[in-house]
Structure 1
Protein backbone atom coordinates (compact mmCIF):
# COMPACT_ATOMS: atom_id res chain seq x y z
CA UNK A 1 0.00 0.00 0.00
CA UNK A 2 1.33 3.41 -0.89
CA UNK A 3 1.21 6.20 1.65
CA UNK A 4 -1.44 8.91 1.50
CA UNK A 5 -0.14 12.07 -0.13
CA UNK A 6 -1.31 14.94 2.04
CA UNK A 7 -1.27 18.67 1.42
CA UNK A 8 -2.37 21.49 3.72
CA UNK A 9 -5.99 22.51 3.25
CA UNK A 10 -6.94 25.83 1.70
CA UNK A 11 -6.99 28.75 4.13
CA UNK A 12 -10.57 29.46 2.97
CA UNK A 13 -11.82 26.25 4.59
CA UNK A 14 -13.40 26.67 8.02
CA UNK A 15 -11.61 25.18 11.00
CA UNK A 16 -14.93 24.41 12.75
CA UNK A 17 -15.69 20.94 14.05
CA UNK A 18 -16.59 18.68 11.11
CA UNK A 19 -20.22 17.91 10.40
CA UNK A 20 -19.10 14.48 9.24
CA UNK A 21 -16.01 12.72 10.55
CA UNK A 22 -15.07 9.26 9.32
CA UNK A 23 -12.23 7.24 10.82
CA UNK A 24 -11.04 3.74 9.89
CA UNK A 25 -14.06 2.89 7.75
CA UNK A 26 -13.93 -0.64 6.33
CA UNK A 27 -16.65 -2.33 4.28
CA UNK A 28 -17.32 -5.66 2.63
CA UNK A 29 -19.61 -7.20 0.04
CA UNK A 30 -19.91 -10.72 1.38
CA UNK A 31 -16.37 -11.96 1.95
CA UNK A 32 -14.79 -9.36 -0.37
CA UNK A 33 -13.39 -6.32 1.40
CA UNK A 34 -13.92 -3.11 -0.61
CA UNK A 35 -12.92 -0.26 1.74
CA UNK A 36 -9.76 -0.15 3.84
CA UNK A 37 -9.50 2.30 6.77
CA UNK A 38 -11.05 5.26 4.96
CA UNK A 39 -10.64 8.57 6.81
CA UNK A 40 -12.35 11.81 5.73
CA UNK A 41 -14.29 14.78 7.05
CA UNK A 42 -16.65 17.50 5.82
CA UNK A 43 -17.11 20.86 7.53
CA UNK A 44 -20.13 23.12 7.59
CA UNK A 45 -20.60 25.08 4.34
CA UNK A 46 -17.99 23.01 2.50
CA UNK A 47 -18.12 21.00 -0.72
CA UNK A 48 -15.77 18.01 -0.64
CA UNK A 49 -15.16 15.67 -3.59
CA UNK A 50 -14.45 11.97 -3.15
CA UNK A 51 -12.72 11.18 -6.41
CA UNK A 52 -11.58 8.03 -8.17
CA UNK A 53 -12.06 5.85 -11.20
CA UNK A 54 -15.03 3.53 -11.66
CA UNK A 55 -14.73 0.73 -9.14
CA UNK A 56 -12.53 2.69 -6.74
CA UNK A 57 -15.10 2.38 -3.94
CA UNK A 58 -16.80 5.79 -4.01
CA UNK A 59 -20.40 4.57 -4.06
CA UNK A 60 -19.52 1.87 -1.53
CA UNK A 61 -18.23 4.59 0.79
CA UNK A 62 -21.55 6.40 0.57
CA UNK A 63 -23.54 3.20 1.16
CA UNK A 64 -21.36 2.41 4.17
CA UNK A 65 -21.89 5.92 5.57
CA UNK A 66 -25.66 5.54 5.12
CA UNK A 67 -25.79 2.16 6.86
CA UNK A 68 -26.76 0.34 3.68
CA UNK A 69 -24.14 -2.44 3.96
CA UNK A 70 -24.39 -5.43 6.27
CA UNK A 71 -20.65 -5.56 6.90
CA UNK A 72 -18.91 -2.34 7.84
CA UNK A 73 -16.54 -1.32 10.60
CA UNK A 74 -15.15 2.01 11.72
CA UNK A 75 -16.16 5.27 13.36
CA UNK A 76 -18.66 7.67 11.78
CA UNK A 77 -19.59 10.86 13.62
CA UNK A 78 -22.31 13.15 12.31
CA UNK A 79 -23.32 16.39 14.01
CA UNK A 80 -21.12 15.36 16.94
CA UNK A 81 -22.90 12.03 17.39
CA UNK A 82 -21.54 8.53 16.84
CA UNK A 83 -23.79 7.07 14.11
CA UNK A 84 -21.89 4.08 12.75
CA UNK A 85 -24.54 1.61 13.95
CA UNK A 86 -27.62 3.54 12.81
CA UNK A 87 -29.97 2.46 10.02
CA UNK A 88 -30.53 4.59 6.89
CA UNK A 89 -33.90 5.95 8.08
CA UNK A 90 -32.35 7.02 11.39
CA UNK A 91 -29.54 8.86 9.60
CA UNK A 92 -32.06 10.59 7.34
CA UNK A 93 -34.00 11.74 10.40
CA UNK A 94 -30.80 13.21 11.84
CA UNK A 95 -30.33 15.27 8.68
CA UNK A 96 -27.96 13.22 6.52
CA UNK A 97 -29.30 13.32 2.95
CA UNK A 98 -28.34 10.85 0.22
CA UNK A 99 -28.72 11.28 -3.55
CA UNK A 100 -27.92 7.86 -5.09
CA UNK A 101 -26.28 7.48 -8.47
CA UNK A 102 -29.21 5.45 -9.84
CA UNK A 103 -31.72 8.21 -8.87
CA UNK A 104 -34.57 5.90 -7.68
CA UNK A 105 -37.47 8.25 -8.35
CA UNK A 106 -41.00 6.96 -7.84
CA UNK A 107 -41.94 6.52 -11.48
CA UNK A 108 -45.74 6.50 -10.99
CA UNK A 109 -45.74 9.56 -8.73
CA UNK A 110 -45.70 13.11 -10.07
CA UNK A 111 -42.87 15.54 -9.45
CA UNK A 112 -44.83 17.17 -6.63
CA UNK A 113 -45.71 13.81 -5.09
CA UNK A 114 -42.07 12.70 -5.24
CA UNK A 115 -41.10 15.82 -3.32
CA UNK A 116 -43.75 15.21 -0.67
CA UNK A 117 -42.33 11.75 -0.05
CA UNK A 118 -39.07 13.36 1.05
CA UNK A 119 -40.59 16.01 3.32
CA UNK A 120 -39.25 16.31 6.86
CA UNK A 121 -39.74 18.92 9.57
CA UNK A 122 -37.73 22.14 9.58
CA UNK A 123 -34.39 21.98 11.33
CA UNK A 124 -32.19 24.24 13.44
CA UNK A 125 -28.48 24.07 14.13
CA UNK A 126 -27.40 23.17 17.68
CA UNK A 127 -26.80 26.88 18.40
CA UNK A 128 -30.46 27.59 17.62
CA UNK A 129 -29.94 29.25 14.24
CA UNK A 130 -32.19 28.16 11.40
CA UNK A 131 -30.81 25.59 8.98
CA UNK A 132 -31.64 25.43 5.28
CA UNK A 133 -35.34 24.53 5.13
CA UNK A 134 -37.05 23.98 1.80
CA UNK A 135 -40.61 24.17 0.45
CA UNK A 136 -41.76 22.80 -2.92
CA UNK A 137 -42.20 26.34 -4.24
CA UNK A 138 -38.64 27.28 -3.28
CA UNK A 139 -37.39 24.16 -5.04
CA UNK A 140 -39.40 24.93 -8.17
CA UNK A 141 -37.72 28.35 -8.23
CA UNK A 142 -34.36 26.67 -7.69
CA UNK A 143 -35.08 24.01 -10.36
CA UNK A 144 -37.17 25.79 -13.05
CA UNK A 145 -37.30 22.62 -15.16
CA UNK A 146 -39.12 20.82 -12.36
CA UNK A 147 -41.41 23.79 -11.83
CA UNK A 148 -42.58 23.45 -15.43
CA UNK A 149 -43.52 19.77 -14.99
CA UNK A 150 -45.00 19.56 -11.51
CA UNK A 151 -47.70 17.09 -12.56
CA UNK A 152 -45.47 14.87 -14.74
CA UNK A 153 -44.87 11.30 -13.50
CA UNK A 154 -41.26 10.53 -12.65
CA UNK A 155 -41.18 7.73 -15.21
CA UNK A 156 -41.84 10.21 -18.03
CA UNK A 157 -38.79 12.37 -17.30
CA UNK A 158 -35.33 12.29 -18.86
CA UNK A 159 -32.37 10.98 -16.91
CA UNK A 160 -31.15 14.50 -16.21
CA UNK A 161 -34.58 15.61 -15.04
CA UNK A 162 -34.80 12.59 -12.75
CA UNK A 163 -31.39 13.52 -11.34
CA UNK A 164 -32.67 17.00 -10.50
CA UNK A 165 -35.82 15.52 -8.98
CA UNK A 166 -33.79 13.19 -6.77
CA UNK A 167 -31.71 16.11 -5.52
CA UNK A 168 -34.84 18.19 -4.90
CA UNK A 169 -36.53 15.30 -3.06
CA UNK A 170 -33.47 14.96 -0.84
CA UNK A 171 -33.53 18.69 -0.10
CA UNK A 172 -37.15 18.33 1.05
CA UNK A 173 -35.67 16.43 4.00
CA UNK A 174 -33.82 19.64 4.98
CA UNK A 175 -30.48 17.84 5.39
CA UNK A 176 -27.54 19.35 7.23
CA UNK A 177 -25.24 17.44 4.85
CA UNK A 178 -25.88 15.93 1.41
CA UNK A 179 -24.12 12.86 0.01
CA UNK A 180 -24.28 13.36 -3.75
CA UNK A 181 -23.23 10.26 -5.71
CA UNK A 182 -21.83 10.79 -9.24
CA UNK A 183 -23.94 13.84 -10.21
CA UNK A 184 -22.32 14.22 -13.64
CA UNK A 185 -22.45 10.53 -14.61
CA UNK A 186 -24.55 9.58 -17.62
CA UNK A 187 -26.33 12.91 -18.18
CA UNK A 188 -26.16 15.38 -21.05
CA UNK A 189 -23.54 18.16 -20.95
CA UNK A 190 -26.22 20.80 -20.46
CA UNK A 191 -27.47 18.94 -17.38
CA UNK A 192 -23.89 18.64 -16.07
CA UNK A 193 -23.59 22.41 -16.34
CA UNK A 194 -26.91 22.87 -14.53
CA UNK A 195 -25.78 20.49 -11.79
CA UNK A 196 -22.59 22.50 -11.30
CA UNK A 197 -24.58 25.72 -11.01
CA UNK A 198 -26.93 24.00 -8.57
CA UNK A 199 -24.10 22.84 -6.30
CA UNK A 200 -22.52 26.30 -6.31
CA UNK A 201 -25.88 27.88 -5.50
CA UNK A 202 -26.42 25.44 -2.63
CA UNK A 203 -22.93 26.18 -1.34
CA UNK A 204 -23.67 29.93 -1.49
CA UNK A 205 -26.68 29.26 0.74
CA UNK A 206 -24.42 27.48 3.25
CA UNK A 207 -25.11 23.86 2.26
CA UNK A 208 -22.56 21.16 3.00
CA UNK A 209 -21.98 18.50 0.34
CA UNK A 210 -19.84 15.39 -0.02
CA UNK A 211 -19.92 14.34 -3.67
CA UNK A 212 -18.43 11.32 -5.36
CA UNK A 213 -17.02 12.13 -8.77
CA UNK A 214 -14.54 11.02 -11.40
CA UNK A 215 -14.83 14.12 -13.60
CA UNK A 216 -11.93 16.33 -12.47
CA UNK A 217 -13.20 19.36 -14.38
CA UNK A 218 -16.64 19.13 -12.78
CA UNK A 219 -15.20 18.63 -9.29
CA UNK A 220 -12.82 21.53 -9.83
CA UNK A 221 -15.75 23.84 -10.53
CA UNK A 222 -17.60 23.10 -7.30
CA UNK A 223 -15.40 21.53 -4.61
CA UNK A 224 -13.13 23.06 -1.96
CA UNK A 225 -11.19 19.92 -1.11
CA UNK A 226 -10.76 16.43 -2.49
CA UNK A 227 -9.96 12.92 -1.37
CA UNK A 228 -8.76 10.46 -4.01
CA UNK A 229 -9.83 6.84 -3.57
CA UNK A 230 -8.22 3.91 -5.35
CA UNK A 231 -9.00 0.24 -4.69
CA UNK A 232 -10.73 1.20 -1.45
CA UNK A 233 -7.82 3.23 -0.08
CA UNK A 234 -7.49 7.00 0.31
CA UNK A 235 -4.38 7.78 -1.72
CA UNK A 236 -4.44 11.58 -1.60
CA UNK A 237 -6.13 14.46 0.17
CA UNK A 238 -5.79 18.19 -0.36
CA UNK A 239 -7.43 21.25 -1.86
CA UNK A 240 -8.92 21.06 -5.35
CA UNK A 241 -6.34 23.57 -6.57
CA UNK A 242 -3.53 21.37 -5.29
CA UNK A 243 -5.02 18.27 -6.89
CA UNK A 244 -5.45 20.05 -10.22
CA UNK A 245 -1.76 21.01 -10.10
CA UNK A 246 -0.52 17.54 -9.13
CA UNK A 247 -0.01 15.71 -12.41
CA UNK A 248 1.50 12.63 -10.75
CA UNK A 249 -1.59 11.99 -8.64
CA UNK A 250 -3.94 12.64 -11.53
CA UNK A 251 -2.11 10.20 -13.77
CA UNK A 252 -1.82 7.55 -11.09
CA UNK A 253 -5.39 7.57 -9.80
CA UNK A 254 -7.75 9.55 -12.03
CA UNK A 255 -6.89 9.25 -15.72
CA UNK A 256 -8.25 6.32 -17.69
Structure 2
Protein backbone atom coordinates (compact mmCIF):
# COMPACT_ATOMS: atom_id res chain seq x y z
CA UNK A 1 0.00 0.00 0.00
CA UNK A 2 1.31 3.41 -0.88
CA UNK A 3 1.46 6.43 1.35
CA UNK A 4 -0.03 9.85 0.66
CA UNK A 5 0.57 13.41 1.75
CA UNK A 6 -2.64 14.61 3.41
CA UNK A 7 -1.88 18.21 2.54
CA UNK A 8 -2.27 17.43 -1.16
CA UNK A 9 -5.61 15.64 -0.84
CA UNK A 10 -8.47 17.15 -2.81
CA UNK A 11 -10.98 14.97 -0.94
CA UNK A 12 -11.73 17.39 1.88
CA UNK A 13 -14.92 16.55 3.76
CA UNK A 14 -17.00 19.57 4.75
CA UNK A 15 -19.87 19.27 7.23
CA UNK A 16 -21.55 22.63 7.69
CA UNK A 17 -24.64 23.70 9.60
CA UNK A 18 -26.42 20.33 9.57
CA UNK A 19 -29.91 20.19 10.99
CA UNK A 20 -31.78 16.88 11.03
CA UNK A 21 -35.16 15.95 12.43
CA UNK A 22 -37.19 12.86 13.18
CA UNK A 23 -40.73 14.13 12.85
CA UNK A 24 -41.17 16.87 15.49
CA UNK A 25 -37.88 15.99 17.22
CA UNK A 26 -34.73 17.91 16.25
CA UNK A 27 -31.81 15.48 16.45
CA UNK A 28 -29.17 17.87 15.07
CA UNK A 29 -29.24 21.65 15.10
CA UNK A 30 -26.76 23.69 13.06
CA UNK A 31 -23.91 21.20 13.52
CA UNK A 32 -20.58 21.87 11.81
CA UNK A 33 -17.69 19.45 12.17
CA UNK A 34 -14.05 20.01 11.12
CA UNK A 35 -12.66 17.03 9.22
CA UNK A 36 -9.22 17.78 7.86
CA UNK A 37 -7.73 15.38 5.30
CA UNK A 38 -5.43 12.88 6.95
CA UNK A 39 -6.75 13.57 10.45
CA UNK A 40 -9.05 11.95 13.00
CA UNK A 41 -11.98 13.94 14.31
CA UNK A 42 -13.63 12.43 17.39
CA UNK A 43 -17.32 13.21 17.87
CA UNK A 44 -18.20 12.75 21.53
CA UNK A 45 -21.16 13.05 23.84
CA UNK A 46 -23.70 11.12 25.86
CA UNK A 47 -26.39 8.84 24.48
CA UNK A 48 -28.93 10.93 22.61
CA UNK A 49 -26.43 13.66 21.79
CA UNK A 50 -26.90 13.20 18.04
CA UNK A 51 -23.63 11.42 17.22
CA UNK A 52 -25.11 8.53 15.25
CA UNK A 53 -27.57 10.85 13.48
CA UNK A 54 -24.62 12.96 12.38
CA UNK A 55 -22.94 10.02 10.65
CA UNK A 56 -26.22 8.82 9.16
CA UNK A 57 -26.83 12.29 7.75
CA UNK A 58 -23.34 12.53 6.23
CA UNK A 59 -23.70 9.09 4.63
CA UNK A 60 -27.17 9.79 3.22
CA UNK A 61 -29.23 7.57 5.47
CA UNK A 62 -30.93 10.64 6.96
CA UNK A 63 -31.88 13.62 4.79
CA UNK A 64 -30.90 16.92 6.42
CA UNK A 65 -33.43 19.70 6.91
CA UNK A 66 -30.63 22.24 6.49
CA UNK A 67 -26.88 22.42 6.05
CA UNK A 68 -24.36 21.06 3.61
CA UNK A 69 -22.15 17.99 3.13
CA UNK A 70 -19.48 18.04 0.45
CA UNK A 71 -16.41 16.03 -0.48
CA UNK A 72 -13.66 17.59 -2.55
CA UNK A 73 -16.02 20.40 -3.49
CA UNK A 74 -18.76 18.00 -4.69
CA UNK A 75 -22.08 18.73 -3.03
CA UNK A 76 -23.45 15.50 -1.56
CA UNK A 77 -26.15 17.01 0.64
CA UNK A 78 -29.15 14.69 0.72
CA UNK A 79 -27.71 12.41 -1.98
CA UNK A 80 -28.55 8.72 -2.07
CA UNK A 81 -26.28 6.56 0.11
CA UNK A 82 -25.01 4.69 -2.95
CA UNK A 83 -23.81 7.91 -4.57
CA UNK A 84 -22.14 9.06 -1.35
CA UNK A 85 -20.36 5.70 -0.95
CA UNK A 86 -19.23 5.80 -4.58
CA UNK A 87 -17.85 9.31 -4.02
CA UNK A 88 -15.51 7.93 -1.36
CA UNK A 89 -17.29 8.04 2.01
CA UNK A 90 -17.38 4.67 3.78
CA UNK A 91 -19.73 4.35 6.76
CA UNK A 92 -19.12 1.62 9.35
CA UNK A 93 -22.25 1.70 11.55
CA UNK A 94 -22.49 0.44 15.10
CA UNK A 95 -23.10 -3.29 15.38
CA UNK A 96 -20.30 -5.03 13.45
CA UNK A 97 -22.47 -5.81 10.42
CA UNK A 98 -20.64 -8.78 8.96
CA UNK A 99 -22.53 -11.27 6.84
CA UNK A 100 -22.20 -14.28 9.10
CA UNK A 101 -23.17 -16.82 6.43
CA UNK A 102 -20.12 -15.82 4.39
CA UNK A 103 -16.45 -16.44 5.08
CA UNK A 104 -13.99 -13.69 5.96
CA UNK A 105 -12.70 -13.87 2.40
CA UNK A 106 -16.20 -13.47 0.93
CA UNK A 107 -17.02 -10.54 3.20
CA UNK A 108 -13.87 -8.79 2.04
CA UNK A 109 -14.70 -9.53 -1.58
CA UNK A 110 -17.92 -7.54 -1.22
CA UNK A 111 -15.88 -4.46 -0.34
CA UNK A 112 -13.60 -5.06 -3.29
CA UNK A 113 -16.57 -5.17 -5.68
CA UNK A 114 -17.58 -1.63 -4.76
CA UNK A 115 -13.97 -0.50 -4.66
CA UNK A 116 -13.42 -1.69 -8.22
CA UNK A 117 -15.76 1.09 -9.39
CA UNK A 118 -13.59 3.70 -7.70
CA UNK A 119 -10.03 3.71 -9.06
CA UNK A 120 -8.22 5.08 -6.00
CA UNK A 121 -8.66 6.10 -2.42
CA UNK A 122 -7.41 9.29 -0.82
CA UNK A 123 -4.34 10.77 -2.44
CA UNK A 124 -4.03 7.82 -4.83
CA UNK A 125 -3.75 5.19 -2.09
CA UNK A 126 -5.29 1.85 -2.99
CA UNK A 127 -6.19 -0.93 -0.60
CA UNK A 128 -6.11 -4.59 -1.57
CA UNK A 129 -6.84 -7.77 0.32
CA UNK A 130 -3.22 -8.39 1.23
CA UNK A 131 -2.97 -4.85 2.53
CA UNK A 132 -5.95 -5.07 4.89
CA UNK A 133 -4.80 -8.48 6.12
CA UNK A 134 -1.47 -6.87 6.95
CA UNK A 135 -3.35 -4.27 9.00
CA UNK A 136 -5.41 -6.97 10.74
CA UNK A 137 -3.32 -10.19 11.00
CA UNK A 138 -6.07 -11.97 12.94
CA UNK A 139 -8.21 -11.92 9.79
CA UNK A 140 -5.43 -13.58 7.78
CA UNK A 141 -5.43 -16.47 10.24
CA UNK A 142 -9.20 -16.88 9.78
CA UNK A 143 -9.41 -15.97 6.11
CA UNK A 144 -11.47 -18.96 4.97
CA UNK A 145 -13.53 -19.40 8.13
CA UNK A 146 -17.20 -18.40 8.38
CA UNK A 147 -17.63 -14.93 9.82
CA UNK A 148 -19.92 -16.29 12.53
CA UNK A 149 -16.89 -17.99 14.13
CA UNK A 150 -15.14 -14.64 14.74
CA UNK A 151 -14.93 -12.91 18.09
CA UNK A 152 -16.49 -9.47 18.55
CA UNK A 153 -13.13 -7.79 18.06
CA UNK A 154 -12.41 -9.78 14.91
CA UNK A 155 -15.81 -8.86 13.50
CA UNK A 156 -15.05 -5.20 14.09
CA UNK A 157 -11.73 -5.62 12.30
CA UNK A 158 -13.55 -7.30 9.41
CA UNK A 159 -16.07 -4.51 8.89
CA UNK A 160 -13.31 -1.89 8.95
CA UNK A 161 -11.20 -3.94 6.50
CA UNK A 162 -14.20 -4.40 4.21
CA UNK A 163 -14.85 -0.65 4.26
CA UNK A 164 -11.22 0.07 3.33
CA UNK A 165 -11.55 -2.16 0.27
CA UNK A 166 -14.17 0.24 -1.10
CA UNK A 167 -11.23 2.68 -1.59
CA UNK A 168 -12.55 5.48 0.62
CA UNK A 169 -11.24 8.97 1.16
CA UNK A 170 -13.32 9.27 4.32
CA UNK A 171 -14.09 6.65 6.95
CA UNK A 172 -17.06 7.22 9.27
CA UNK A 173 -16.95 4.95 12.33
CA UNK A 174 -19.80 4.61 14.82
CA UNK A 175 -18.78 3.26 18.24
CA UNK A 176 -16.06 0.84 17.03
CA UNK A 177 -14.94 0.15 20.61
CA UNK A 178 -18.37 -0.83 21.93
CA UNK A 179 -18.18 -4.03 23.96
CA UNK A 180 -14.56 -4.78 23.09
CA UNK A 181 -11.64 -5.55 25.38
CA UNK A 182 -9.20 -2.65 25.90
CA UNK A 183 -6.43 -4.55 24.07
CA UNK A 184 -8.58 -4.91 20.94
CA UNK A 185 -9.68 -1.27 21.13
CA UNK A 186 -6.01 -0.23 21.23
CA UNK A 187 -5.29 -2.36 18.13
CA UNK A 188 -8.14 -0.86 16.15
CA UNK A 189 -7.34 2.71 17.16
CA UNK A 190 -3.67 2.15 16.23
CA UNK A 191 -4.79 1.10 12.76
CA UNK A 192 -6.90 4.25 12.44
CA UNK A 193 -3.87 6.35 13.37
CA UNK A 194 -1.81 4.54 10.72
CA UNK A 195 -4.48 5.10 8.08
CA UNK A 196 -4.41 8.84 8.64
CA UNK A 197 -0.68 9.28 9.20
CA UNK A 198 0.50 7.04 6.36
CA UNK A 199 -2.41 7.16 3.94
CA UNK A 200 -4.13 10.50 4.28
CA UNK A 201 -7.58 9.05 4.97
CA UNK A 202 -9.98 11.30 6.86
CA UNK A 203 -11.59 9.60 9.87
CA UNK A 204 -14.70 10.79 11.70
CA UNK A 205 -14.91 8.70 14.85
CA UNK A 206 -18.08 8.62 16.95
CA UNK A 207 -17.31 7.30 20.41
CA UNK A 208 -18.64 7.09 23.94
CA UNK A 209 -15.19 5.95 25.07
CA UNK A 210 -14.10 9.58 25.14
CA UNK A 211 -10.81 9.03 26.93
CA UNK A 212 -9.48 6.58 24.33
CA UNK A 213 -10.90 8.56 21.41
CA UNK A 214 -9.18 11.77 22.50
CA UNK A 215 -5.88 9.92 22.82
CA UNK A 216 -5.96 8.94 19.14
CA UNK A 217 -7.78 11.93 17.62
CA UNK A 218 -6.42 15.22 16.33
CA UNK A 219 -9.60 17.22 16.91
CA UNK A 220 -12.61 16.69 19.13
CA UNK A 221 -16.21 17.83 18.80
CA UNK A 222 -18.59 17.52 21.76
CA UNK A 223 -22.32 17.27 21.11
CA UNK A 224 -25.12 17.67 23.62
CA UNK A 225 -28.78 17.31 22.69
CA UNK A 226 -27.98 17.75 19.02
CA UNK A 227 -25.87 20.88 19.32
CA UNK A 228 -22.12 21.51 19.34
CA UNK A 229 -20.94 22.61 22.77
CA UNK A 230 -17.16 22.42 22.19
CA UNK A 231 -14.67 22.10 19.33
CA UNK A 232 -10.93 22.05 19.99
CA UNK A 233 -7.74 20.07 19.65
CA UNK A 234 -8.18 16.66 21.23
CA UNK A 235 -5.46 17.32 23.79
CA UNK A 236 -7.16 20.55 24.88
CA UNK A 237 -10.52 18.84 25.37
CA UNK A 238 -8.87 16.04 27.35
CA UNK A 239 -7.26 18.64 29.62
CA UNK A 240 -10.52 20.54 30.24
CA UNK A 241 -11.68 19.01 33.51
CA UNK A 242 -14.97 20.90 33.71
CA UNK A 243 -15.96 19.93 30.16
CA UNK A 244 -14.99 16.31 30.73
CA UNK A 245 -17.07 16.05 33.87
CA UNK A 246 -20.07 17.82 32.32
CA UNK A 247 -20.23 15.99 28.99
CA UNK A 248 -17.71 13.16 28.67
CA UNK A 249 -17.97 11.20 31.87
CA UNK A 250 -14.33 11.03 32.92
Normalised by the length of structure 1, the TM-score is: 0.88
What residue in structure 2 maps to residue 234 of structure 1? Answer: 228
Q: 1:37 to 1:139 in 2, by over 3 A?
A: same
Q: Please, which of 82, 90, 112 is the counterpart of residue 105 of structure 2?
A: 112
The 5 Å alignment of 1:93-132 reads: 93-119=86-112, 120-121=115-116, 122-123=119-120, 130-132=123-125
Q: Residues 193-241 of structure 1, C-alpha deviation per residue, up to 9 Å, x if partnerless?
A: 1112111221221221110112222112210011000110000000011
Of residues 56-65 and 210-219 in structure 1, the stretch that sits farther from structure 2 once superposed is 210-219
Q: How large is the RMSD of aligned CA atoms in angstroms?
A: 2.0
Q: Which has the higher helix share?
A: 2
Q: Residues 84-105 of structure 1, C-alpha deviation per residue, up to 9 Å, x if partnerless?
A: 0211111110001111111211
Q: How many residues matched? A: 240
Q: 1:71 to 1:207 in 2, by over 3 A?
A: closer
- Conserved 8 A contact 2:18-2:68: yes
Structure 1: which 5+ runs fail to align?
A: 1-12
What residue in structure 1 maps to residue 36 of structure 2? Answer: 43
- Conserved 8 A contact 2:39-2:197: no
What residue in structure 2 maps to residue 212 of structure 1? Answer: 206
Match of 2:143, SS state, is: coil
Shift of 1:69: 1.7
Match of 1:118, SS state, is: helix
Shift of 1:70: 4.6
What residue in structure 2 maps to residue 171 of structure 1? Answer: 164
Q: 1:227 to 1:134 in 2, by over 3 A?
A: same
What residue in structure 2 maps to residue 137 of structure 1? Answer: 130
- Structure 1 residue ranges (4+ consecutive) displaced by more than 6 angstroms after TM superposition: 13-18
What residue in structure 2 maps to residue 224 of structure 1? Answer: 218
The 5 Å alignment of 1:8-27 reads: 19-27=12-20
Shift of 1:18: 7.3
